[in-house]
Amino acid sequence: MDVLPERYIRLSRFQPIGVGGVKLLRHKRVVIVGVGALGTVQAEMLVRSGVGELTLIDRDYVDLTNLQRQTLFTENDVQQQMPKAIAAKKRLEAVNREVKINAFISDLNAGNAENLLLGHDVILDGTDNFETRLLINDISVKHRIPWIYGAATGSYGLVYTFRPGETACFSCVYRYMPIGGETCETVGIIGPAAQLTASLQCAEAMKILTDNNQNLRKHLFYFDLWSNEFSTIALDGILDSSCKTCQSHQFPYLQNENGTKIGVLCGRNTVQIRPSGNAVFHYQDTASRLKNTGLNVQTNDYLTQLTLSEHRIVLFKDGRALIHGTNKIEDAKQLYQKYIGG
């Protein structure tokens, strides 16, 4: 019989988990997509709780602006331009060497999603864009892996647990991809909002991993720490009978042609990004939000132009954007998602 390590004694004394739940945790595999404000908190909590194996997926490197809320990183990581997945892995291994930690410096996409996500017991959302979440949702439904959605911006957060066959899927909740929402870059974020969102996600994950599914949240949870608002939204009747993912099992976001269309413009050091055909883009709201940031923004009747130190983003009313100053698709995608949203 396995002897329970002393480090987990306090966790085992929480009756709903107990010694049996701690032992279950030590044989479970979790994947976190996005190791930022949410993902760093999720990862540390799970590693300290003794999950058996943790996979980290992130495409970015540590920036000075991350340190305000992304708890696993240091100024040294910024100076070394360490990839987030690698910096997090090193810190987490110093916290609990018993946990197997895999780190992938990768942008989750239709070509690699199944290889990276399959074999895990739960998927945790640490992303900052809806396209990746829709891709996670397709994987979740296709392979019956529960995933826990989380989003935090400003002082508010949202959390919901998607369980294939038991709840509506993410595509049902977001019938069309909502391009042009708020981002941390344009409206900011306070650390406690990210911490609380990630903590709620981890609590849901631990329920699943210790076979306490009866205690999972049944509603979408919303909070705003600044205005002291907390509410739940019932999603019982939101299942879409025409949903391609959970009803027809066609998995549209696992097909490359349904994602965002991106192309390098020959000889112009420019990348064009065109949202998915399902996207609903709110141009006026996005243009107004950009102007209110104090950034260098100019608009006319046809487009909005955002000038940065090394790049220029020209945004059109249909959501199409030209990212000038780079011919690297991943850099262009990050700029689009950082300033435009989606």
Q: 43, 91 in Cβ contact below 8 A?
A: no
DSSP-based three-state secondary structure for 328: coil
Say which of 184, 202, 243, 246 is annotated catalytic.
184
Six-digit token string for 218: 């049944």
Six-digit token string for 323: 């990212």
Residue 266 among the catalytic residues = no
Question: What's the N-to-C CA distance of the chain in angstroms?
Answer: 49
Return the ∠ at Cα 200 (arms to 208 and 57), rounded to 5°. 75
The whole-angstrom separation of Cα 151 and Cα 341 is 13
Q: In angstroms, what CA-CA distances link 29 with 208, 270, 285, 292?
A: 11, 40, 41, 43
DSSP 2: P
Six-digit token string for 311: 């790049």
Task: Write phi, then psi, for 135 (nearest 5 degrees).
Answer: -70, -45
DSSP 279: -
The length of the chain, given as a count of residues: 342
What is the set of active-site residues? Answer: 184
